[in-house]
């Protein structure tokens, strides 16, 4: 009872607006084949829902626990409580946090898929993604588990995008980027300057087509905000590399 929770990169990310206190976006999410955490259900007698392998993160802040609670609220089935009396969740972490790679969201999405399968909950994928969206904006992509997808709205609209595969090289400096701070910086410093016409039609183009036309700043609206919030990123940035999500990982494709 083990599943892989792959990292993602945003090959492009454009902010499209701001509603109800949250930014809306259009982005291409791409699964990273060679980087993943693993989520396992391991037999163990547990008094409460138990997660191991996530460091010192209090359980109430853990995305896996949050989606577990959300599923319980959706179904209210006794089997849920019974299963985790006799199994613990063990996470083997490989995806760095604060790196724009979706580690916590990927863990949550993979947990939801494994839980749904192992316990035969019978939740269809769109409903599972909708439950996940209440916990985190990136989770629906990981629930759908596409190799590549256009993601829009608040992150809840996920449409598979078929494109040729490519190799992904990652470079993650020792800088932890706080996503809420990056988005707050964008809203305060850069939001008034967004021009949706600049990226019109990008959702129809392949990743290679888009990145052949734009540099890292143009590809990802959050890169400029991250540079303001974390000026030290300028010292580690590499020419020709792009920036994933709110950072701090840089990537290039082949």
The residue behind tokens 């916990």 is 135
All domains of the chain in start order, with CATH: 2-160 (3.30.230.10), 168-253 (no CATH)
Taking the CA atoms of 23, 24, 27 and 31 in sequence, report the sign of the dihedral they define: positive
- Measure the CA–CA gap between 78 and 249, rounded to whole angstroms: 41
Q: What is the pLDDT of residues 78-125, one digit of tens each?
A: 667 789 999 999 999 999 998 999 999 999 999 999 999 999 999 999
- Measure the CA–CA gap between 150 and 182, rounded to whole angstroms: 21
Residues marked as catalytic:
8, 138
| Other beta carbons within 10 Å of 154 | 15
3-state DSSP assignment of residue 147: coil
Q: Per-residue b/e over 90-123, b at no fewer than 16 CB within 10 Å?
A: bbeeebbebbbbbbbbbbbbbbbbbbbeebebeb
Taking the CA atoms of 132, 134, 139 and 141 in sequence, report the sign of the dihedral they define: positive
pTM of the predicted model, to two decimals?
Answer: 0.93
Q: How does pLDDT run along the chain (254 residues), one tens digit per residue?
A: 999 999 999 999 999 998 878 899 999 999 999 999 999 999 999 999 999 998 888 999 999 999 999 999 888 666 677 899 999 999 999 999 989 999 999 999 999 999 999 999 999 999 999 999 999 999 999 999 999 999 999 999 999 999 999 999 999 999 999 999 999 999 999 998 888 888 999 999 999 999 999 999 999 999 999 999 999 999 999 999 999 999 899 999 99
């Amino acid at each position: 009872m083990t599943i892989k929770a792959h990292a993602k990169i945003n090959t492009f990310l454009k902010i499209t607006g701001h509603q109800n206190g949250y930014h809306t976006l259009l982005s291409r999410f791409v699964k990273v084949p060679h980087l993943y955490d693993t989520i396992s259900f391991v037999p163990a007698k547990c008094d409460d829902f138990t997660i191991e392998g996530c460091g010192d993160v209090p359980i109430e802040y853990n995305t896996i626990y949050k989606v577990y609670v959300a599923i319980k609220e959706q179904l209210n089935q006794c089997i849920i409580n019974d299963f985790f009396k006799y199994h613990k969740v063990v996470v083997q972490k490989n995806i760095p946090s604060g790196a724009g790679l979706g580690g916590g969201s990927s863990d949550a999405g993979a947990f939801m898929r494994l839980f749904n399968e192992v316990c035969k909950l019978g939740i269809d994928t769109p409903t599972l993604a909708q439950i996940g969206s209440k916990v985190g904006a990136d989770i629906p992509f990981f629930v759908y588990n596409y190799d590549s997808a256009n993601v829009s709205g608040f992150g809840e609209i996920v449409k598979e995008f078929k494109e040729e595969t490519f190799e992904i090289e990652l470079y993650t400096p020792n800088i932890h980027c706080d996503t809420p701070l990056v988005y707050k910086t964008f809203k305060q410093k850069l939001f008034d300057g967004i021009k949706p016409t600049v990226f019109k039609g990008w959702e129809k183009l392949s990743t290679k087509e888009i990145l052949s036309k734009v540099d890292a700043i143009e590809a990802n609206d959050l890169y400029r905000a991250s540079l303001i919030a974390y000026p030290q990123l300028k010292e580690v940035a590499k020419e020709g590399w792009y920036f994933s999500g709110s950072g701090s990982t840089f990537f290039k494709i082949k």
